[in-house]
Amino acid sequence: MTDIQRNPTRSVRIGQTHIGAQHPIAVQSMAATRTQDIEATLRQIKVIGEAGADIIRVAVDSRKDVDALGEIAGHTDIPLSVDLQENYRLVQHVAPHVQKVRYNPGHLYHHEKEKSIRDKVAFIADEAEKNDCALRVGVNCGSVDPDKIGLFPAEDSISPMLASALEHCHILDDLGFTRYCVSLKDSDPANVIEANKRFASERPDVPLHLGVTEAGMPPEGIIKTRIAFEQLITAGIGDTLRVSLTLPFDDKGEEIRVGRQILDDIYSGRFRSVPKLLDAGLNIISCPSCSRVENEAFIELAHRVREVTEYAKSHAITIAVMGCRVNGPGETDDADLGLWCAPNFVNLKRGPETIGQFGYDEVLDVLRQEVDRIIAA
């Protein structure tokens, strides 16, 4: 057995699930179906719930999603969490239906620019309080608060994430709202490890939600996640976690099973070595998909990208495949080649620069040409 001294985080209740303090590490996942498709989303919640989820997240972007959420919430006992995007005011409509709301500090800039961030956070916290909800401050490498980015050298992607998370903890504490946790996610496990270790050393009291974003498909996605979790959890860091994998809807329970298996292995002293391939070879990152995917061909595309680039596996090339326009454009910027999916075409990028828009049936040929070009260079 591994002897793990967990950090002395405070206890945060999310419906009947408690995270933090010495509660078992909670395992969660996210419904990838369109929230407005109530039947499909309930089926997805059943699949994830039967796999043993402690919390299930659903995406809500519009009033129609909120209406669907109201119906969905009445059919499940598993605590639900909702992800707010730019429209932070939706919190007043979603909070009555769920047990936790996640907001991204980097998304609070888009609406009502004249209003202060503190006032927006106060609005969110007030709604959470009134509706018996917990909050997650979810900082993501692809959408960091623009005010923080300029404060640090361009090559330092971790300090802006950390500064943003700490600022929001400070705002929430100051507002007297302490029922929150924090996440600092990145697609690179090394960055996840460093960001979470640094945060935990500054705020050992705040529960942490662990995850490697856009980890990709099994088995690489599992390996990346396992690397991060092994190093953080053995250091006493982490109170809830999600394994983000690109999977067909019916296999989404796998995220929970893998999360529990990693925990079981860590506590039983079973560790895996870090494969060198992750540092040196082809690295394909892909988002786990969610209700924002506008063309389900994305999942097939992500798997095909891996097949057609197999020949380049010894080359240090990062390819990012994202499912939607919400996070796709930003989160492909750091990859050598990025694909983000629109309803009828795929945007292909070289770093931050757009190469063009291609049909789902033609983009792979162009991608191969780009891979060949990088190899030749």
Residues of this chain that interact with ligand SF4 (CB under 6 A) are 287-290, 292-293, 322-324, 326-328
Q: In the complex with ligand SF4, which residue's Cβ is closer, 284 or 322?
A: 322
Closest distance of CB 271 from ligand SF4, Å? 29
Q: In the complex with ligand SF4, which residue's Cβ is closer, 20 or 138?
A: 138
Closest distance of CB 39 from ligand SF4, Å? 20
* 3-state SS class at 107: helix
Closest distance of CB 332 from ligand SF4, Å? 9
Radius of gyration of the chain from its Cα atoms, rounded to whole angstroms: 20
Dist. CA 128–CA 124, nearest whole Å: 6
Angle at 185 between CA 105 and CA 296, to 5 degrees: 95
Dist. CA 271–CA 62, nearest whole Å: 43
Closest CA to 37 of 78, 70, 65: 65
Q: How many Cα atoms are found within 13 Å in the side-chain-facing hemisphere of 161?
A: 24
Please report the DSSP string for 319-334 in residue order: EEEES-TTTHHHHTTT
Closest distance of CB 76 from ligand SF4, Å? 21
Task: List the structure tokens of 370.
Answer: 């780009």
Strand partners, 83: 59, 102
Closest distance of CB 339 from ligand SF4, Å? 11
- In the chain, the amino acid numbered 264 is D
For residue 46, how many other CB atoms are within 10 A of its CB? 14
Closest CA to 371 of 315, 325, 328: 315
Closest distance of CB 322 from ligand SF4, Å? 4
Closest distance of CB 334 from ligand SF4, Å? 14
Q: In the complex with ligand SF4, which residue's Cβ is closer, 21 or 40?
A: 40
Dist. CA 304–CA 92, nearest whole Å: 41
DSSP state of 25: P
